[in-house]
Amino acid sequence: MPFVNVSGENIHYLLSGDQGPGLVLIHGSGSSHAAWPVEILTLPGVRVAALDLPGHGKSEGAARKSVDEYARVVAGAIEAMGLARAYVCGHSLGGAVALSLALAKPAWLAGIILVGSGARLRVNPLILEAITQNFEQALDLMDPFLFAPGADPELVKGARLVAEAAGPEVLLTDFSACDRFDVMARVGEIQIPCLVVTADKDQLTPAKYGRYLAAGIPGAQLVEIAGAGHVMMMEKPVEVARALAGFIR
């Protein structure tokens, strides 16, 4: 499995495709590259790299305490991979990382895709407290917020297994980084192509978060996925993949 070294840490990524524009996928809190379905990992005519953030999945290092710190690692990984004119697609926390990169304006960044994310990502204090006191109970609390009602139980089980593998310390660090993230006053500074993908059943980052981003980022496109919750790319992979492919092309 491929790795790149960023400041002494081996960062894991899953790569598919060998030509076309680069698309770098950044997962959400307590997750990994496993969050991305095959429909997105194998977009035709696109070179797709799904990263594991530090301390997640197969990557070395510790989870970072801020979104900006994650963004610096991601930038280093993309430069080490040699992806010129790359798009960054982030889910939730990953979307915050993409926004941070867009504001930092690296020369290689062709555009950003924000999936189930927001310019501000406050986390319910009850969830933060539950993670520190009873991790399994915290996951029980989170499950209904991740998926739309009636979601495939196997999807719910799979997402939970990934979160359990990450552990409470990583999840708490990620959520705390999200809770401190706020670029609401700066989204108008973003001057690169942007696609915002929201879902009508998302309870963690409701569709209004995506509409705010689309209204505030000049020229941004908005796609709303019907019948999906927060992890919309898992519940509606074909629809989300279609939106990504259309934007990149």
CB 178 within 8 A of CB 92: yes
Q: What is the mean pLDDT of residues 26-52?
A: 96
- Name the pLDDT band for 1 (thresholds 50, 70, 90): low
**What is the set of domains in the chain, with CATH numbers?**
3-248 (3.40.50.1820)
- Mean pLDDT over 16-22 rounds to 87
Q: Report how far residue 12's alpha carbon sits from residue 81's, in angstroms, rounded to the nearest whole number.
A: 11
Q: What percent of the chain has pLDDT over 90?
A: 92
Summarize pLDDT for 133-161 with one digit per residue, the tens: 999 989 988 888 899 999 999 999 999 99
pLDDT per residue over 88-115, tens digit each?
999 999 999 999 999 999 999 999 999 9
- In this predicted structure, what is the pLDDT of residue 118? 98
pLDDT at 186: 97
Q: Is the pLDDT of residue 18 over 80?
A: no
Q: What pLDDT sits at residue 241?
A: 98
This prediction has a pTM of 0.96
pLDDT band at residue 243, thresholds of 50, 70 and 90?
very high
* Average pLDDT taken over every residue of the chain: 95
For 186-204, the pLDDT digits (tens) are 999 999 999 999 999 999 9
The H or E element that residue 72 is part of is: helix 67-81
Name the band, by pLDDT with cuts 50, 70 and 90, for residue 48. Answer: very high
- Is pLDDT of 17 > 90? no
pLDDT at 84 over 70: yes
Residue 76 in this model has a pLDDT that exceeds 80: yes
CA-closest candidate to residue 50, choices 65, 37, 63, 60: 37
